[in-house]
Structure 1
Amino acid sequence: MMPQDQFPSFREVPNTGVIYVMTKAQQAGFHYGAADWANLGQGAPETGALAAGEERLEAVAIDATSSEYSPVAGQKELREAVAELYNKRYRRGLKSQYTYENVAISSGGRTGLARVAASLGRVHLGHYLPDYTAYEELFDAFKGFVPIPIVLKEKDQFRATAGQLEEEIVSRGLGAVLLSNPNNPTGQVIHGAELERYVEVGRRQRCALIFDEFYSHYLYDSAALESASLSAARYVEDVNKEMVIVVDGLTKNWRYPGLRISWTIGPKAIIQRIASAGSFLDGGAAHPLQKAAIPLVDIKVADQQAKIIQGEFSKKRELMMRSLISMGFRLPAPPIAGFYCFAGLEKLPESLQDGMQFFEAALQKKVIVVPGKFFDVNPGNRRGHIPSRLNKYVRFSFGPSLAEVERGLSRLREVIAEAAAKGE
């Protein structure tokens, strides 16, 4: 007889992407704070002060008021502060301005994206490949829309023009498009006139554009630096009529992943729907943390943080790029944003040319990386019969401290040298 499932009312939820990687690492002895490991698979930036005199949040006050539930859409004061930040950064002199009603606060980026997904109608939702691994779980969890992949090609440096986007929208009947900008894992970014054209395409085709902007402070190409950061919000004509939705938060751009505070910005009518979704999905972000976040989104603090990040992370970026190339990795599209290098393995010893095999070999040296196949977002495994075109890529993070990045790169050099010595 076939063994019966002990819990037949519950389905298996597979560990994929970064969750799979971190689970395997923990089984091998990794724990957060482990000094003998190098977590180059890390999807979060180093925390703490990076520059002399930089002030960081060190305490969160809790009183009787903040012990109460917060409104599901978020504290009005924080929503007002976020709206003011976007107006000052991107909408100076424009008639249409964001108000608190254009902002919803969530407990982290994934929660914010889940609220957006729960609010979508029965549409074809375009999404790029490669892109953020968690989108796969998001698409699997919500069945009201049909996810449609849009392939970003290496020959185009993993970027799509506004014209290509419009062709995809028209030919595939897309009602919405979700994309990380800057992109995770490739480090490419749509900015300036091209980003403006993206917004124009959405306006013209009545297609919702959902921008995941969690890396918008991490800019290294002078051409991308319109200001201290970038956002599609700069190019919206009417904030309450255009279906441009922006998701961001303190996790990456302010380097407070533990606070789990994010926001979604868009037309009032859509924000109302997103807040309604939050009432049954998560109930709202922690009240004391929202109060603590208000000073952090002041434009002076936010712009200072962006400039510090660009100064300090650019050093780690240069080190990683230089080191990977010297070891034989291929960088088809050097990162101009974010804190990742997406590297090809074809020039390495044969035993290391597959992303999963490379991951296992690096793990033996207590180094964590993320195989490229996990960014080939494939909800429902609908393309399971086709080998992933990203099998020969790996994502490396320079999010950790400089010392940890250096340790990890040194050990990767050992991995490659040992494989070459064995003739593998």
Structure 2
Amino acid sequence: MRIRQAERSATRSFGTRVTAESIPGIRQVPRTGVIFVMHEAAKEGFVYGHPEWANLGQGSPETGDLPGAPPRIKEISIEPARHSYGPVEGALDLRQKVADFYNEVFRKGKKSQYTYKNVSLAGGGRTALTRLAASIDACNIGHFIPDYTAYEELLANFRSFIPIPILLDREQGYRISLETLEKEIAGRGLRLVLLSNPCNPTGQVIQGQELKSWVDLGRENSCTFVFDEFYSRFLYTGEPGEAVSAAEFVEDVETDPVVLVDGLTKNWRYPGWRLSWTLGPSKVIEAIASAGSFLDGGANNPLQAQAHILLDPERAKQESVAISKHFRLKRDFVVNRLKSMGVRLASKPQGAFYVWADLSDLPPSIRKGIDFFRAGLQEKVITVPGVFFDVNPGRRRAHSRFANLCRVSYGPPMESLELGMNALQRVIEKATQ
């Protein structure tokens, strides 16, 4: 009796009854696209490493040996001193190593050079981006649609700024002209623009003179560009081994409003290390270090000592060549198999390791990305519905785009891709019967 009275009292006082779905003071945090599909797949028996499952929703590259790539790190030796906390902004020697790497690869011969003061280390890409978001002033910031799913919650949870969507049209190849971008910046009063380059999920790349024009535009319009460059060595447009970075076109590392985020996750194929860096003017680095002091406390200290060898420019070049050759083969394999099944390409990937696939010509029961995903689980294959890439902070827009699209990853090894393509073939054949 007392328990029921207490429940009624609580309901009167707070207007809701405590259940397994609602705990006082805690909101239900939505899962990002990849995390959602992994959670749903787990309900059907998926576990990482399961030989019968193909994870084509995977947001990381294969981590094993590649033909022509440097040997993978298989052992780690930890100095006792590294068991202690490290600086929030990261170990000074590794910060300088990152600066030297960018100076050597992208800024050779330029007067303005990066130093450790322009580098902050963090525990992975999301942590680095969260630090940045916590440091953004009250302003309008632009973001593109479609783009990386995690941007949605990132842009929704920090209320000091207003996220403004910029729609990329399929008819324009999910690209935006410099003239249109300048109008967006001026017309909407944007002080910062966030984007992934190469883009996740479309695979489009801004590089060369076009990228230089973007950097110039930011400088001339007092608008900071934050380039998420985690896929910058997965390129298929030029010679194997090429990389793209806005660092190449920065004139003054202290005054140009350009911030870069990258790390070992994708371009070095060590996602489990959770080690990233942010590169930008020293004032930005000071701000995000302050944010890190209350958000996360700093990156893994022992692993920072091991990362030096990976930032050797020659070793990184060798890895990039291997990545480009190997992932180009996987891209072509997946693209050709999908086309043979009647799946169209919404955008041919120039970079990253995803296919932005159009399901509109498939049978009605699997034309929507979420239905295609659900049907795939029954055949032990995972994809990511396109609606997750309609970055919609705070759910301010009533309707989601990209319902008939999905993202298919060719990050896994080839044998997993073959398994996955065969599974998708069965999904389509069953829906056609």
TM-score by length of 2: 0.94
| Deviations 1:178-212 (CA, angstroms, capped at 9, x unpaired) | 00000000000101110000001100000000000
- Aligned counterparts of 1:186 and 1:393: Cα–Cα separation in 2: 11
1:31 corresponds to? 47
Point out the more displaced range, 140-149 or 10-19: 10-19
Q: Which amino acid aligns with 2:216?
A: E
Match of 1:322 among 321, 333, 336: 336
Q: Which amino acid aligns with 1:380?
A: G
Point out the more displaced range, 226-235 or 178-187: 226-235
Is 1:163 aligned with 2:179? yes
1:272 corresponds to? 286
- Alpha carbons of 1:53 and 1:220: their partners in 2 closer, same or farther (altered >3 Å)? closer
Is 1:284 aligned with 2:330? no
1:403 corresponds to? 415
Aligned-partner SS, 1:34: coil
Aligned-partner SS, 1:253: coil
- Aligned counterparts of 1:372 and 1:218: Cα–Cα separation in 2: 21
Is 1:132 aligned with 2:148? yes
- Alpha carbons of 1:34 and 1:355: their partners in 2 closer, same or farther (altered >3 Å)? same
| 1:52 Cα offset (Å) | 5.1
Match of 1:369 among 383, 390, 396: 383
- Aligned counterparts of 2:131 and 2:180: Cα–Cα separation in 1: 28
**Conserved? CA contact 2:66–2:326, under 8 Å:** yes
Structure 1: gaps of 5 or more residues: none
Aligned-partner SS, 1:178: strand
Match of 1:149 among 147, 165, 174: 165
**Conserved? CA contact 2:230–2:267, under 8 Å:** yes
Is 1:257 aligned with 2:266? no
Is 1:393 aligned with 2:409? no
| 1:227 Cα offset (Å) | 6.3
**Conserved? CA contact 1:161–1:194, under 8 Å:** no
- Alpha carbons of 1:53 and 1:358: their partners in 2 closer, same or farther (altered >3 Å)? closer
| 1:127 Cα offset (Å) | 0.2
| 1:137 Cα offset (Å) | 1.3
| Deviations 1:317-345 (CA, angstroms, capped at 9, x unpaired) | 00011111111111132001000000111
| 1:144 Cα offset (Å) | 1.1
1:118 corresponds to? 134
**Conserved? CA contact 2:97–2:308, under 8 Å:** yes
2:3 corresponds to? none
2:309 corresponds to? 295
Is 1:4 aligned with 2:20? no
- Aligned counterparts of 1:140 and 1:351: Cα–Cα separation in 2: 33
1:184 corresponds to? 200
- Alpha carbons of 1:227 and 1:35: their partners in 2 closer, same or farther (altered >3 Å)? closer
Residues 230-249 of structure 1 correspond to what in structure 2 (within 5 A)?
230-249=244-263
- Aligned counterparts of 1:47 and 1:368: Cα–Cα separation in 2: 19
1:107 corresponds to? 123
| 1:304 Cα offset (Å) | 1.0
Aligned-partner SS, 1:318: helix
- Aligned counterparts of 2:289 and 2:73: Cα–Cα separation in 1: 27
**Conserved? CA contact 1:192–1:226, under 8 Å:** no
1:202 corresponds to? 218
- Aligned counterparts of 1:68 and 1:48: Cα–Cα separation in 2: 30
- Aligned counterparts of 2:240 and 2:431: Cα–Cα separation in 1: 45
**Conserved? CA contact 2:69–2:318, under 8 Å:** no
Point out the more displaced range, 225-234 or 76-85: 225-234
| 1:9 Cα offset (Å) | 1.6
- Aligned counterparts of 2:75 and 2:169: Cα–Cα separation in 1: 45
**Conserved? CA contact 2:234–2:353, under 8 Å:** yes
| 1:226 Cα offset (Å) | 10
- Aligned counterparts of 1:86 and 1:228: Cα–Cα separation in 2: 14
Rg bigger for which structure?
A: 2
| 1:16 Cα offset (Å) | 3.4
- Aligned counterparts of 2:198 and 2:68: Cα–Cα separation in 1: 28
